[in-house]
Amino acid sequence: MIFRQLFDSVSSTYTYLIGSREGGEALIIDPVLEKVDGYIKLLEQLDVKLVKVIDTHIHADHISGIAELRNRTNCITIMGDATKAEVVSMRVSDNEIIKLESLELKSLYTPGHTDDSFSFMMNDRIFSGDTLLIRGTGRTDFQNGDPYDSYNSIFERLLKLPEGTFLYPAHDYNGNTVSTIGEEKKYNPRLQVNSVEEYVSIMNNLNLSNPKMMDIAVPTNQQLGIKHEEQKNLNGIVANEFSKKLLDEEFEIIDIREDHEVKKHGTIKGSKNVPLQKFLELIKNNSMQKKNSFLLFCAVGERSSLAIQVMKSYNIINTYHLIGGFKEWVNQNFPIIRV
């Protein structure tokens, strides 16, 4: 396994790069926009391919690099399902598994710092976002933060992990790089409390000023998805049109979500499941083109937009995708099947 902790000194953000040596797939957690060139260079040097990128929550102190990374590498953008971010390509719920070849990250819904905060557990380590910091905890005074939720997320979830679990937070302002759950239990000053009320009173009396970037970062980070209008320009069609095209035998219907999403939400009848990265490989190797005409859909239309972009570069033009993806299909009450 490849593991790198990267630092943005302007916002004191830690970004994590995880790579699987086997097939060379990589994942990045909490990227910072200004650092994207550096990530791309490092990915090249490590000879790995970025396939997934995660934001633990909507950040208030920097603009996320997830959209730029998506645009440059066609990776899947992921956040927890409590996010208000307009479109991320995959939303995970509490206790869901994100796969990176044989590596697995388990999502834990840990609200409190914000109402959309998730932590991600991988083997012996937890990426805690801003929920639990080294010798600190994420502030709870904006973005629907709540000190009671923070207490529950920390005491009922994170501190119940094995004491030796390594803690990798999204920020540190004092030069600390890593801690463990056991260390934080003992030495984190905010956790040495006897009741939830005591913790809440500490959190409600921090009197911090707002992050400098907040007014720009929050709204920008909420709108990093590929808008429906842009999806339309990439051969996007609305659900009604899509349903008519399904009857046309000229097209092969491809569901490019991951298999766990298909199992969880169902799919469209007649579709074949070929996850995005696999699909792009087949297109590049020219081994998917029996029919050369496809109807594509994913969760929200973001991955299918990326696929169309790539296909256009290979001159595969007679392909359409579903604007708004399976979510829109379900919203408009078109039939689904369970697999």
- Residues lying near Fe ion in the complex (CB under 5 A) are found at 130
153 beta partners: none
**Cβ at position 13, least distance to Fe ion in Å:** 9
Report residue 75: phi and psi, to 5°.
Answer: -80, 165
- Rounded Cα gap, residues 224 and 243, in angstroms: 28
CB of 86 or CB of 141, closer to Fe ion = 141
CB of 55 or CB of 261, closer to Fe ion = 55
CB of 66 or CB of 234, closer to Fe ion = 66
Residue of 145, 137, 195 lying closest to 170 (CA atoms): 137
CB of 101 or CB of 141, closer to Fe ion = 141
Contacts of residue 90, Cβ cutoff 8 Å, sequence gap at least 6: 76, 77, 78, 257, 258, 261, 299
**Cβ at position 60, least distance to Fe ion in Å:** 6
CB of 213 or CB of 262, closer to Fe ion = 213
Q: Which residue is nearest to Fe ion (CB)?
A: 130
- DSSP letters for 243-262: HHHTT-TTPEEEE-S-HHHH
**Cβ at position 139, least distance to Fe ion in Å:** 8
CB of 59 or CB of 70, closer to Fe ion = 59
**Helix (H) or strand (E) run with residue 120 in it:** strand 118-122
Positive/negative CA dihedral, 33, 126, 208, 173: negative
- Rounded Cα gap, residues 87 and 326, in angstroms: 13
**Cβ at position 128, least distance to Fe ion in Å:** 11
**Cβ at position 150, least distance to Fe ion in Å:** 12
- Rounded Cα gap, residues 65 and 16, in angstroms: 12
Q: Are 239 and 322 in contact (CB under 8 A)?
A: yes
The DSSP bridge pattern shows strands 179-180 and 125-129 to be unpaired
**Cβ at position 303, least distance to Fe ion in Å:** 26
103 torsion bin: left (phi>0), alpha (psi -120 to 50), beta (else): beta
Beginning with the edge strand found earlier in the chain, give each strand of the sheet holding 49-54 in spatial order.
2-8, 13-19, 25-29, 49-54, 76-80, 90-92
CB of 174 or CB of 315, closer to Fe ion = 174
**Cβ at position 173, least distance to Fe ion in Å:** 12
**Cβ at position 11, least distance to Fe ion in Å:** 10
- Rounded Cα gap, residues 176 and 190, in angstroms: 17
- Rounded Cα gap, residues 121 and 104, in angstroms: 8
Q: Are 7 and 32 in contact (CB under 8 A)?
A: no
CB of 7 or CB of 334, closer to Fe ion = 7
